[in-house]
């Protein structure tokens, strides 16, 4: 991963190590959702305190598939996280629409496309157009296949994440190759 120039996403729900990689911070809400745990706000605050200053960006706390309730939770952490890192991302969830996010996005606040897998895949291009229009960073979560990398490129994503390469080293080469092929039809 290092030789390929990849970065890592450090999750509040995992080990808080950077291994010397450039990194971003994830709030761990997806891991909590999958295991039925309640979001640990105190641990998130500690993660931001420990690693936030050198993070590329921080994903604000959210509620998976939680719609505007998730947005309200994210807004509670906006100022604190912006004080720690140059860029924060609002996790867009099922039920959120463009007018819900338009007042908040810009050079320091971008979009992290989360939500249920079905919703995310169906809305990926739509949120990419929104981000291009609003000139904000666009990140697509849980991208673990070459097909999804191509979809994210086509949608204009600035960054993606996925656990495949860190779990299965053999996937690095095909996913790295897919990530380096530009999509000429992506929104500008």
Instruction: Flag whether 40 is in a domain.
Output: yes
Compute the distance between CA of residue 109 and CA of residue 76 in angstroms, rounded to an integer: 14
Quick: pLDDT tens for 17-50.
999 999 999 999 989 988 999 899 999 999 999 9
- Residue 56 placed within a domain: yes
In a domain, 186, yes or no: no
pLDDT of 183 reads 52
User: Tell me, what's the pLDDT at 185?
Assistant: 47
Sign of CA dihedral 69, 88, 108, 134: negative
CA distance 33 to 39: 8
Predicted TM-score (pTM) of this structure: 0.86
The CATH number for 134's domain is 3.20.20.105
Residue 188 lies in a domain: no
- Asked, for residue 159, whether it belongs to a domain, the answer is yes
Whether 1 is in a domain gets the answer no
Q: What are 74-103's pLDDT values in tens digits?
A: 999 999 999 999 999 999 999 999 999 999
Nearest partner of 178 among 143, 153, 141, 146, judged by Cα: 146
Domain residues for 141?
8-179
| DSSP summary character for residue 106 | B
pLDDT tens track for 161-170: 865 545 545 5
Helices (H), the chain: 29-35, 41-51, 67-84, 98-101, 117-134, 146-154, 164-167, 172-179
38 in any annotated domain:
yes
Q: What is the Cα–Cα distance from 109 to 131, expressed in whole angstroms?
A: 10
Distance CA 28, CA 4 (A): 26
Residue 3 lies in a domain: no
Q: Is the pLDDT of residue 181 over 70?
A: no
Query: In the chain, how many domains are there?
Result: 1
């Amino acid at each position: 991963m290092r030789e390929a120039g990849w970065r890592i996403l450090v999750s509040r729900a995992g080990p808080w190590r950077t291994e010397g990689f450039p990194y971003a911070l994830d709030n761990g809400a997806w891991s909590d959702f999958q295991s039925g745990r309640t979001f640990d706000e105190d641990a998130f605050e500690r993660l931001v305190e420990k690693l936030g200053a050198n993070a590329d960006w921080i994903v604000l706390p959210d509620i998976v598939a939680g719609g505007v309730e998730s947005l309200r939770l994210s807004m509670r952490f906006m100022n604190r996280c912006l004080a720690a890192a140059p860029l924060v991302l609002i996790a867009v969830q099922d039920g959120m629409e463009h007018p819900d996010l338009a007042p908040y996005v810009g050079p320091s606040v971008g979009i992290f496309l989360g939500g249920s897998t079905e919703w995310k895949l169906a809305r990926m291009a739509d949120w990419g157009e929104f981000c291009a229009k609003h000139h904000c960073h666009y990140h697509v979560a849980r991208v673990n296949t070459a097909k999804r990398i191509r979809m994210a490129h086509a949608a204009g994503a600035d960054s993606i994440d996925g656990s495949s390469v860190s779990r299965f080293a053999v996937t690095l080469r095909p996913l790295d190759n897919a990530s380096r092929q530009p999509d000429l039809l992506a929104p500008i």
